[in-house]
Amino acid sequence: MAELIYDETGRLLFTEEMRREYTILVPMMLPVHMTFLVKILREQGFRVELLTSTSPAITDLGLQSVHNDTCYPALLVIGQMMEALESGKYDMDKVALIITQTGGGCRASNYIHLLRKALQKRGWSHIPVISFNLAGMEKNPGFRFSPKVYLEMLGIVVYADLIMNLANQTRPYELRAGDADAMIERWTQRLLEQKLSVRRLSRTLAAITADFAAIPVRREPKVTVGVVGEIYIKYAALGNNNLEQLLADEGCEVVVPGLLDFVIFMGDHHLVDTRRYRIKWKKGLVSALIKVIFSFFQRRLIRAIRQVPSYRVPADFGIIKRLAGDYVSDGNKMGEGWLLTGEIVELIHAGIGNIICTQPFGCLPNHIVGKGMIRAIRGDHPDANIVCVDYDPGATRTNQENRIKLMLSVARERLTEKSA
Amino acid sequence: MTKFHIGVDVGSTTVKVVVLDAATGETVWREYRRHHAKSRETAAEMLRRAAAAADGPVTLAFSGSAALKLTAAAALPFVQEVFATRLAVQERLGDVDAVVELGGEDAKILFLTGGMEERMNGSCAGGTGAFIDQMAALLSLSLEELDALSFRHKQIYPIASRCGVFAKSDIQPLLNQGAVKEDIAASIYQSIVSQTIAGLAQGREIKGRVCFLGGPLTFLKGLRVRFTETLGLDENHAVFPDQAEYYVAIGAALRSRGTEEHTLPGVLERLEHARRQEGEEQEALPPLFSSEEEYETFRARHAKATVPAADLESYEGGAWLGIDAGSTTTKLVLMDGNGRLLYSYYAPNNGEPLPVVRAQLIALRERCAGRVTIRGTAVTGYGEELLKNAFAADHGIVETTAHHTAARAFDPAVDFIIDIGGQDMKCFRLRRGVVDSILLNEACSSGCGSFIETFAGALGYSAAEFAKLGLFAKRPVSLGSRCTVFMNSSVKQAQNDGAGVDDISAGLSVSVVKNAVYKVIRTRNAKDLGEHIVVQGGTFLNDAILRAFELEIGHSVTRPALAGLMGAYGAALYAREHTAGADAESTLLSLEDLRAFSCESKSARCGRCQNRCRLTVSTFRGGSQEGKKYISGNRCEAPLGLPGGPAGGGGPADDAYEYKKDLLLACAPRPGKRGKVGLPLGLGMYELLPFWHTLLTELGFEVHHSGLSSRELYLTGQHTIPSDTVCYPAKLTHGHIEALLAQGIDTIFYPCLPYNFDQGMGDNHYNCPVVAFYPELLTANIPQLGKIRCLTPYLAPHAKTFPGRAAKYFREEFGIRSGETKAAVRKAYEAYAAYQEAVWSFGDQALARAADEGRETVILAGRPYHIDPEVNHGIHKLLRSLGCVVLSEDCLRPGEKVPVKVLNQWTYHSRLYAAATFAAARDRVQLVQLISFGCGLDAITSDEVKDILEREGKIYTLIKIDEINNLGAAKIRLRSLLEAVRA
């Protein structure tokens, strides 16, 4: 075991020594994005393990480790880590954990603390936990990177978003099953070889798009379903009972908004706050930078997709923000905040009226910006076919599936009417 | 050859099959059957019978929640049931505007005209048909009897309609207080109606021709009446079609037109094949017992914890009586001076404890006559006070004391007791013979004994048979560990997956245990519980549960043979310990008085304060009890005619909740030149009212707030609540808006505040997302707000920018000069500071007074909005009546930031941590945390507050509150806490 060093608040630090010897366990969320992240960290000499288990034991371990009424994502992420730690696969004196921290007014900012409490409860207080965030919280001497590596990490979001988007638009129509997934694999490798460089961004984005566009497909009318909601539940198969697979099996095309919007949103709402309450203007600079860089990435991504006419082009952040403005203020920023409302409206505007709004049971921000806005949105768009689905350790798949099937029945009927 | 269309509707409790003649569309065969968890077998059996009628080529489709997996495996067509309903209605009835369909566990509304919409109940809104079954079982009535009774009701009680568990918590106290079944039956129906209107229609009006479908609405005429009356429908507009329970099946049959043709034997073949194929796939838990021998060893071990008995018929001398009036069962124990058991009784009370106990007492008095003298009687349990008053018992003791006393008799070193009863679950940890922490199940997780019993009943078994089935189940199903509603649907899923009754029984036992261990006790390590664990309560007599418990905690425990009688046994022991002389005699009614005894119950409303408690007044008749009254349902002593409170209890001057409430209510409207503005008194407004009220009044507005909440106010706003799992205080704001609208207010001011004032006690000073942004939700969901001026600006008084931004805002919005606004802002800050100072000095004085008088101070810690009587349900009054000085968390002057192990980023929560630290460091100051159900943030704070208190050896007490109004559990908890700290 490395020497345990604590900061002035008593937080166990992840040290240089640990960097050399420890294995960092990373919880799964977005497969493409996370694969990139893991590879980058490995290149930097970290030992990193991506946790992919979806065993039912995760829920039980989560229930044992954190308060039952804690949001489901925390329960799953922590449960997944506990399962890994208990598996005996790792040297308990040489293992570290990493978890994201958003720093907003939602419960999610507390996940890292809940994780530390859970570790302590099991007598594992010596395991360091690294906070992964954009806001500069909880710095660790052993978890610092050169500007070049930071730049590579930025690239993750734009490349992975594009790959995910194109794959989603291609997979349901591919003539040879598995083509899209093979293409994901191919580009993941290639991008890693060129270290996710954002130097020739436009050219690379165009090349990825062209390759996906070259996959032989048969475009036929299919039910298209937008999936929005709380970020973890929306993206993680573990959180949403493999929703994307369920929809694929039902013969649907799935539209999942990318991570770029969320990252820009994080920068944007901080800027709004800074202006509104005049706080921490220095931090405002970082947010401004985040917003500028990622908005630039997004424009490039949109430009690349636009090259192929058969692809649906995702909306620009500014458009989503404007659409959300009809319902909630841009000061509504906790959790997914107004972005969630905006994504729903944008999907409807893009002609994707079938929407699943996913959230953990009792998700506080989603009471407002998700479920809370559906009525107003429906008022303006009477044909919107929206279903809200709650996920939690006790919710049953049958119940969720049945609701989703109702939404799909209506969607199919409309599709038939439209093609008739 | 004749062709047929067949629809099969496999619901959560029943299977419906219809066979339509393809040429004429006529129904040629139909059947409706309960499947008792054997949905597949029942469906197959029914199809086999249908073959006689459908002897040609058929098209068919399945529908219903339990058919999902079945059809996937057998590759047969599936039609979502709401969709099927719509098809059937449109084709069969034509001109219909809306459809209300209640099924076994689902409720649906379809709007067919004016923007088609289909809605189903959310996963938290408990079932309907199954809910009625559950309620009927609770009342020991058949569905027919329940229905008949409902027609004879005189009044309707508010019963929480959100889910079965909540409703049950409302009904149980009503029963125990003597409310009549006629009224309860109608109230149960009414709760379903409100749930349908509020939870499903959510503000969309149900009008025009409304068609009612599904089993319950077909068979229960009383329910129909409640619906038509509430919706104001006449005969022409309420449509109750023939074969209403078959509409899903008919829709499925219609939908199958044009699909692949089969023969029925072929379909049956496919179903059978599918069953064989997937039989072994699902996850299973390890069996409870692997062999008969193992079970025998287990039984032998537990047979040791017994109590010696003596024969009542031959015994002569003194005896002591203990009565435990539980929520669903009544228990009696009579013991002699050596603790030998003379007599015991355990039976369901069918919701009416008085007659049951009376009959028992008469029998006992008769058998004892001349030989046995009852020297002392003690009563405990839910019905403690009623019984103590009715039969003049010597003592009434809190349940925890009774159980502790009993457990000590079996294991003097007992350090942990867990009691799972019919309705509640109690655990307490003992340190040095004193109760150290008390855990009770929350209203949401009452997955206790009566749950298994009701479930067994629904599947057609007795509880004992059902439990026995589980003992040797090979593959118990994993059902999760949440509340019963979730378990219900987990069971549904398990059935769907083809699990047998034995596997379900064992799985339920494991679930009840997991619920106890993870939800109530919240532990993972058996060592956390203790070395000497005593388990009790009727539920533990079920060997499957006992075994599951031992397996789960990995530790053997003591189960007294009297497990189901421990409360009564403890009460009897208590009575014996507390009898003055050797020849004392109990005050219990004489045989003559008992024979003459009867009781009439009436309900009434107490009008003495805002709580407007619904009282049940029991008037006793006969003998020495003639004319005596007992009032229940009250929170404080006011309706009992006692001024100020009982001896030792403090008046309102000892109660910060009263004090703050009065301060806020003093914010009265002052006529102003700029017209009226309304402030909804909800959520954060409970603290910032002095600020906003002053600001707007100074600006020349006549400021009206919406007043305190009440149940009625809640109901007026219920239909616009979009998320049924949000906290109750948030739901109430819908009613507050309605209250303002009803006053004719046309400008409402309710700012969005992501940040609160920074009191320097945390890492940040956020409001929670609900408090912060709820105003935006209100505007999006209350249509009338679009017609008036509803202002929800992001104006944050904590920020230095506020005066400037406020000036700009009021200039643009109302044309008010900046100078005027800035002056008003100064006044507002002063008013807020004055309010805070007043509250803090109240705290100082109350603490000093409590110390002088040597009284216990309880910090009832929650949020500012917990002073709303509809939110706190009068818990502060209860504390006061127990002799405590009551403070709230914001009565303490802000001090240093206290060290905590979580991100301390919410203003309200920083106060909680500070208050806990304060209480932890002082003698005679206790902290009780008040948590609103659905408050996600308290999942974080409660653990932390607990840690802070327990580190200093203090007892942590948590009370979860919601719209339900059941003070029973809170009372037990608070009395136990005080008893422990006063010991």
Q: For B846-871, how does the pLDDT look when each residue is reduced to its tens digit (9 = 90+)?
A: 999 999 998 999 999 999 999 998 89
Residues from chain A that touch B767, judged by Cβ atoms under 8 A, are 105
pLDDT digits (tens, 9 = 90+) for A169-204: 999 999 999 999 999 999 998 988 887 777 788 999
Taking residues A382-408, report their average pLDDT.
84
Residue A259: per-residue pLDDT = 93
Binning pLDDT at 50, 70 and 90, where does residue B163 land? low
Q: Which tokens sit at B379? A: 């009563």
Q: What is the C-alpha separation between B239 and B212, in angstroms, rounded?
A: 6
How confident is the model at residue B627, as a pLDDT? 81
- Residue A417 C-alpha, separation from nearest chain B C-alpha, in angstroms: 15
B78 at A interface, C-beta within 8 A: yes
Residue B366 has pLDDT above 80, yes or no: yes
What is the CATH architecture of B836-982? Answer: 3-Layer(aba) Sandwich (3.40)
B458 CB-side CA count, 13 A? 28
**Residue A205 has what pLDDT?**
95
Tokens coding B157? 């009680």
- Give the separation between CA A380 and CA A218, rounded to whole angstroms: 34
Averaged pLDDT for residues B748-769: 91
Tokens of A302: 């949109």
With CB atoms and an 8 Å threshold, state whether B754 touches A334. yes
Class in CATH terms, A223-258+314-420: alpha beta
The two tokens of residue B198 are 């509020």
Q: Which is more confident, B232 or B528?
A: B232
The amino acid sitting at B889 is: E
**B106: closest chain A residue by CA:** A399
**Contact criterion met (CB < 8 Å) for B939 and A410:** no
Q: Please tell me the predicted confidence (pLDDT) of residue B605.
A: 72
Fold of B417-557: Nucleotidyltransferase; domain 5 (3.30.420)
Average pLDDT value for chain B: 85
High-pLDDT (> 70) share of chain B, %: 89
- Best mutation target, B723, B726, B755, to test chain A (most A CBs within 10 A): B723
Look at residue B897 in the predicted model and tell me its pLDDT. 86
Comparing CB atoms, the residue among B800, B801, B942 nearest residue A67 is: B942
Q: Is A284 on the interface with B (CB under 8 A)?
A: no
Query: CB–CB of B799 and A392 under 8 A?
Result: no
Q: Which chain A residues are within 8 Å of B518, Cβ to Cβ?
A: 63-64, 68
> CB–CB of A393 and B283 under 8 A?
no
Averaged over B350-365, what is the pLDDT?
A: 85
CATH code for the part of the protein at B4-93+251-278? 3.30.420.40
Nearest by CB to A376, which of B482, B780, B805?
B780
Is A113–B796 a contact, with Cβ atoms under 8 angstroms apart? no
Q: Which residues of B touch A335 (CB under 8 A)?
A: 769
Instruction: Decide if B799 and A70 are in contact by the 8 Å CB cutoff.
Output: no
Q: Cβ(B10)–Cβ(B49) under 8 Å?
A: no
Using a CB-CB cut-off of 8 Å, the residues of chain A touching B482 are 68, 392-394
pLDDT at B312: 86
A373/B contact by beta carbon, under 8 A: yes
At B642 the pLDDT is: 42
Cβ atoms of B378 and B396 closer than 8 Å: yes
The answer to whether B478 contacts chain A (CB < 8 Å) is yes
Q: How far apart are CA A36 and CA B961, in angstroms?
A: 46
Share above pLDDT 90 across residues of chain B, in percent, rounded to a whole number:
34
**Cross-chain CB nearest to A375 (options B769, B781, B939):** B781
pTM confidence score = 0.85
| B838, two tokens | 């007043």
Contact status of A400 with chain B (Cβ, < 8 Å): yes
pLDDT for the residue numbered A136: 76
Q: Quick one: pLDDT at residue B456?
A: 81
- Residue pLDDT, tens place only, B215-231: 888 889 999 999 999 88
Ordered by start, the domain boundaries in chain A are: 16-144, 223-258+314-420
- Contacts A408 to B, Cβ<8 Å: 80
Which CA distances in Å does A363 have to A328, A343, B336, B414, B928?
A: 18, 18, 56, 40, 25
Q: Cβ–Cβ of B776/A332 closer than 8 Å?
A: yes
What is the secondary structure of B197-252 as a DSSP string?
IIIIITT----SSEEEESHHHHH-HHHHHHHHHHHT--TTTEE--TTGGGHHHHHH
pLDDT score at B516: 77
pLDDT band for position B268 (cuts 50, 70, 90): confident
Query: What is the CATH class of A16-144?
Result: alpha beta
- Residues B545/B522, Cβ–Cβ less than 8 Å: no
CB-based contact A399 B79, cutoff 8 Å: no
Contact A396 B798 (CB under 8 A): no
Answer whether residue B641 shows pLDDT above 80. Answer: no
| Contacts with B342 (C-beta within 8 Å, 6 or more apart), sequence order | B309, B310, B311, B312, B315, B319, B334, B335, B336, B372
pLDDT above 70 covers a percentage of chain A that reads 98
In which band, very low, low, confident or very high, does the pLDDT at A352 lie, cut at 50, 70 and 90? very high
Interface of B with A in 486-505 (CB under 8 A): 486-487, 489-490, 492-493, 496
pLDDT of residue B933: 81
Cross-chain Cβ contact A107/B493 below 8 Å: no
The tens digit of pLDDT for each residue in A356-370 reads 999 998 788 888 999
List pLDDT tens digits, range B410-441. 888 888 998 887 667 778 888 776 777 777 76
Q: Out of B722, B774, B903, whose CB is closest to A375?
A: B722
- Does the pLDDT at position B795 exceed 60? yes
Q: Express each pLDDT in B702-725 by its tens digit.
A: 999 999 998 889 888 888 888 878
**Could you count the other beta carbons within 10 Å of the beta carbon of residue B641?**
8
Dihedral, CA of residue B340, residue B343, residue B344 and residue B345, to nearest 10: -170
Q: CA of B707 to nearest chain A CA: how many angstroms apart?
A: 24
pLDDT bin (cut points 50, 70, 90) of residue B612 is: low
Q: How confident is the model over B448-473, as pLDDT tens digits? A: 666 777 778 777 888 888 888 888 88
Q: Which of residues 273-312 of B touch A (CB under 8 A)?
A: 283
Interface contacts A/B by beta carbons within 8 Å: 211
Which of B123, B165, B779 is the best residue to mutate to test the A interface, defined by the most A CB atoms within 10 Å of its own CB? B123
**In chain B, whose CA is at the least distance from the CA of A69?**
B939
Task: Note which residues in 319-358 of chain A have CB less than 8 A from chain B.
Answer: 327-329, 331-335
**Highest mean pLDDT range out of A16-20, A179-183, B92-96, B929-933?**
A179-183
Best interface-test mutation with B: which of A112, A115, A398 has the largest number of B CBs within 10 A? Answer: A398
| Per-residue pLDDT at B496 | 66
Domain B4-93+251-278 shares a fold with domain B98-238:
yes
pLDDT band at A287; cut points 50, 70, 90: confident
pLDDT of B811 = 95
Residue B983: pLDDT band by 50, 70, 90 thresholds?
A: low
pLDDT digits (tens, 9 = 90+) for B866-906: 999 889 888 998 898 888 999 999 999 998 888 888 888 89
Domain B98-238, CATH number (from 3.30.420.40, 3.40.50.1010, 3.40.1390.20, 3.20.20.80): 3.30.420.40
Average pLDDT over residues B969-974: 78
| Fold category of B317-411+569-596 in CATH | Nucleotidyltransferase; domain 5 (3.30.420)
Domain locations along chain B: 4-93+251-278, 98-238, 317-411+569-596, 417-557, 598-637, 659-832, 836-982
Span B648-652, average pLDDT: 58
In this prediction, residue B970 carries a pLDDT of 78
**Which of B9, B80, B720 to probe by mutation at the A interface, max A CB count within 10 Å?**
B80
Is the pLDDT at B444 greater than 60, yes or no? no
What ipTM was reported for this prediction? Answer: 0.92
CA distance A64 to chain B (A): 6
Min Cα distance A284 → chain B (Å) is: 16
- The rounded mean pLDDT for chain A is 90
The mean per-residue pLDDT over the stretch B796-817 comes to 92
pLDDT at B643 over 50: no
Q: Are B506 and B514 in contact (CB under 8 A)?
A: no
What local confidence, expressed as pLDDT, does residue A373 receive?
93
- Chain A positions touching B905 (Cβ under 8 A) are 105, 109
Identity of the highest mean pLDDT range in A399-408, A411-420, B747-756: B747-756
Q: What is the DSSP letter of A110?
A: G
More confident residue, B379 or B120: B379
